[in-house]
Structure 1
Amino acid sequence: MNLYINIGIGRILLIITSLTMLLSWLLPNHYEPWITSHSDFCAFIAFIFIIAITIYSVEIIKIPIINLFLLLIMSIPFLQYITGIIFFLGDAFIAAIYIFGFFCAVISGYNLSQQGKNNPKIYLILTSIILLASSISVFIALIQWTLQSNGQVWFADFPSNARPFANFAQPNTLATFLIMGIISLLYLFEKQKLNSISSSLIGLILIFGIALTQSRTSWVFMLCFIIWWLWKTTTLPTRINRKYLGLFVGFYILFVLTLPVVSKFIGLSNTTDVLTRATTGLERVAMWHQMLIAIQHQPWFGYGWNQVSLAQVLTTLDFPVRGWTEHTHNFILDLLVWNGIPIGVAIIVFLIFYLYQLYQLANNIETIIALSMIGAVLIHAMFEYPLDYAFFLLPVGFIIGLIQAQHKDTVTKELSRPYTGSILIILIILYIWIFIEYRIIEEDTQLARFEVLNIGKLHAQKAAPNVVFLTQLREKNRLMRTQPKQNMSDKQLLWLRQIAYRYPTAPALLRYAQALALNHQLAQAKEQLMLIEYLHDLKLSDAVLYEVNESLSFAWENKRKI
Structure 2
Amino acid sequence: MYHFYNIYKALAIFTAVASFVIPGKFFLWPELHQSICALLAIILFSLKKNKVIKIDFFFYFILFFISFIFINHIFLKIQFHSYFIVGCLYLIFSFFAYSIGKDERLNIILETSSIILIFVTSISFIIQVYQLYGWSEDYGLIMNHYDHNQPGRPYANIAQPNILASIYIFSSVILFWSYVEGLIKKHYIITYTLFLIIGIAITYSRTAYLSLILIVLISFFQKNKFQKIYFSFILTACLLTHLAFQKTSDTSRNLTENLNNGRFDIWKMSFEAFLNSPWVGYGFNESGRAHFQVIENSEFKNIFTAQAHNIFIDFILWFGLPIGLTLSIALIFYFYKILIGSKGKGYLPFLVLLPFAVHSLLEYPLYYANTLMFFSIFIGVASRFYIANFFKSTISIKIFFLILISTFLFSAYFAYECLKMESGLLNQKMYFSRIKGVEKTKTDKFFLADLPKSHIEIIGIRKNEELKENDIKKIKEILHYIVVPRYYWVLLEFYKKTNNQEDFDYWLIKGSALLPLQQSRELRQHYAPEKE
TM-score (norm 2): 0.81
Q: 1:530 to 1:106 in 2, by over 3 A?
A: farther
Amino acid paired to 2:507: V
Shift of 1:196: 3.3
Shift of 1:134: 1.3
Q: What residue in structure 2 maps to residue 553 of structure 1?
A: none
1:498 maps to which of 421, 430, 445: 445
Q: What residue in structure 1 maps to residue 522 of structure 2?
A: none
Q: What residue in structure 2 maps to residue 556 of structure 1?
A: none
Q: Distance in 1 between matches of 2:339 and 2:297?
A: 42
Matched, 1:290 2:282: no
Q: Distance in 2 between matches of 1:62 and 1:274?
A: 45
Q: What residue in structure 2 maps to residue 350 of structure 1?
A: 330
Q: 1:98 to 1:329 in 2, by over 3 A?
A: same
Amino acid paired to 1:88: F
Q: Percent identity?
A: 21
1:526 maps to which of 485, 498, 507: 485
Secondary structure of the residue that 1:415 maps to in structure 2? strand
Matched, 1:141 2:128: yes
Q: 1:352 to 1:468 in 2, by over 3 A?
A: same
Q: What residue in structure 2 maps to residue 449 of structure 1?
A: none
Q: What residue in structure 2 maps to residue 452 of structure 1?
A: none
1:414 maps to which of 394, 401, 408: 394
Q: What residue in structure 2 maps to residue 304 of structure 1?
A: 283
Say whether the 8 Å CA contact 1:40–1:389 is kept in structure 2: yes
1:400 maps to which of 379, 382, 389: 379
Structure 2 matches for 1:185-200, cutoff 5 A? 185-200=175-190
Shift of 1:357: 2.2
Task: Specify every segment of 5 or more residues in structure 1 that has no aligned partner in the other structure, as ranges.
Answer: 265-269, 439-466, 518-524, 549-562
Structure 2 matches for 1:468-547, cutoff 5 A? 468=417, 475-476=424-425, 478-485=427-434, 492=440, 495-501=442-448, 503-504=450-451, 505=455, 526-529=485-488, 543-544=506-507, 546=509
Secondary structure of the residue that 1:376 maps to in structure 2? helix
Shift of 1:404: 2.0
Q: What residue in structure 1 maps to residue 296 of structure 2?
A: 317
Shift of 1:425: 3.3
1:171 maps to which of 151, 157, 161: 161
Secondary structure of the residue that 1:151 maps to in structure 2? helix
Say whether the 8 Å CA contact 2:76–2:282 is kept in structure 1: no
Q: Distance in 1 between matches of 2:297 and 2:142?
A: 45
RMSD (Å) for aligned C-alpha atoms: 3.3
Shift of 1:543: 3.7
1:228 maps to which of 199, 218, 226: 218
Task: Specify every segment of 5 or more residues in structure 2 that has no aligned partner in the other structure, as ranges.
Answer: 459-472, 512-532
Matched, 1:362 2:354: no
Say whether the 8 Å CA contact 1:151–1:157 is kept in structure 2: no
Q: Distance in 2 between matches of 1:101 and 1:294?
A: 31
Shift of 1:311: 1.3
Q: Distance in 1 between matches of 2:505 and 2:259?
A: 35
Structure 2 matches for 1:43-62, cutoff 5 A? 43-54=38-49, 58-62=50-54
Q: Distance in 2 between matches of 1:339 and 1:184?
A: 34
1:425 maps to which of 372, 383, 405: 405
The worse-fitting range, judged by mean Cα deviation, of 41-50 and 152-161 is 152-161
Q: 1:147 to 1:473 in 2, by over 3 A?
A: same
Q: 1:168 to 1:532 in 2, by over 3 A?
A: farther
Matched, 1:28 2:41: no
Q: What residue in structure 2 maps to residue 68 of structure 1?
A: 60
Matched, 1:271 2:252: yes
Structure 2 matches for 1:100-115, cutoff 5 A? 100-110=92-102, 112-113=103-104
Say whether the 8 Å CA contact 1:62–1:414 is kept in structure 2: yes
Shift of 1:35: 1.4
Q: 1:512 to 1:215 in 2, by over 3 A?
A: closer
- Matched residues, number: 480
Q: What residue in structure 2 maps to residue 456 of structure 1?
A: none
Shift of 1:414: 1.6
1:316-354 C-alpha deviation (Å, 9 max, x unpaired): 123343234211111111111111111111111111122
Amino acid paired to 1:134: T
Q: Distance in 2 between matches of 1:78 and 1:473?
A: 24
Q: Distance in 1 between matches of 2:270 and 2:117?
A: 35
Matched, 1:377 2:356: yes
Shift of 1:184: 2.0
Q: Distance in 2 between matches of 1:337 and 1:527?
A: 25
Q: What residue in structure 1 maps to residue 516 of structure 2?
A: none
Q: Distance in 2 between matches of 1:22 and 1:326?
A: 27
1:270-321 C-alpha deviation (Å, 9 max, x unpaired): 212334x2x5452111111111111111111111112222111210123343
Q: Distance in 2 between matches of 1:516 and 1:425?
A: 38
Say whether the 8 Å CA contact 1:63–1:413 is kept in structure 2: yes
Structure 2 matches for 1:547-558, cutoff 5 A? none
Say whether the 8 Å CA contact 1:484–1:512 is kept in structure 2: no
Q: 1:285 to 1:417 in 2, by over 3 A?
A: closer
Q: Distance in 1 between matches of 2:136 and 2:286?
A: 35
Secondary structure of the residue that 2:288 maps to in structure 1? helix
